[in-house]
Amino acid sequence: MEQPIRIVLAEDHWLMREGTRHILEQTPDFKMVGEAEDGEQALELIGSVKPDVAILDIRMPKLNGIEVVRKMKELSPDTEALMLTAYDDDDYILALVSAGALGYLLKTARPNELIDAVRRVHQGEPVLDPAIAMKVARLWANQRETTKQNSSTGVTEELTQREFEVLQLAANGFRNKAIADKLSISVRTVEGHFRSIFAKLGVSSRVEAVLYALSRQLVTNEGNKK
């Protein structure tokens, strides 16, 4: 039997925290291992219990969610961050992607979307709310252009057809196993394609690769499939 996904939840609004905890506790493969009502408490908890996933709000007392994400990787490198917030400000999202947050979900999400996001983030898959994905992709790409010269034609010529296929499936929410099944290749081969894609696009994560490809219209986002 697989071990449950261990979760820390940080949210300063009591009612929101209670409602979210209730959803998570009703999910058999989840285990709540701590709750926090401010950023400092969240960081201390993460360092102490080392959860698989930390669900964080952005605006919290003492330390905001961005600061928690930046600092928690030193305390618990294997903990992945899923932001659950009411804020879809561009600057917040870009800062969180840069800090290392793997998921960004708005509080308007349905319970099944939250549950799916926790599982995907735990597996190392990026989750970005579809309502803001394209907006963020455009802004992120524009920001990168101010610090790095990169030819769009050069990039598209460098990527192989199979790498385009892998990126397209990733943009549509397919996980590595599902990509492997879809393309009739091994998971290890998929991982190899991602390493090559990162190198060619000059990025360091799956989130950045997908956002870059979306912003250049190399792929399209048709919503999560798997």
| pTM of the entire predicted model | 0.66
Pairwise CA distance, residues 25 & 224, whole Å = 24
CATH number of 135-215: 3.40.50.2300
**Mean pLDDT in consecutive groups of 10 residues from the start of the chain, 226 residues:** 90 92 93 94 95 92 87 89 78 70 85 92 81 62 52 62 89 82 92 89 76 72 52
CB 70 within 8 A of CB 103: no
Question: What are the structure tokens assigned to 217, written together?
Answer: 């219209």
Q: Where are the domains of the chain?
A: 5-128, 135-215
**Cα angle for residues 145, 147, 148 (degrees, 5° grid):** 65
May I ask the CATH architecture of the domain 5-128?
A: 3-Layer(aba) Sandwich (3.40)
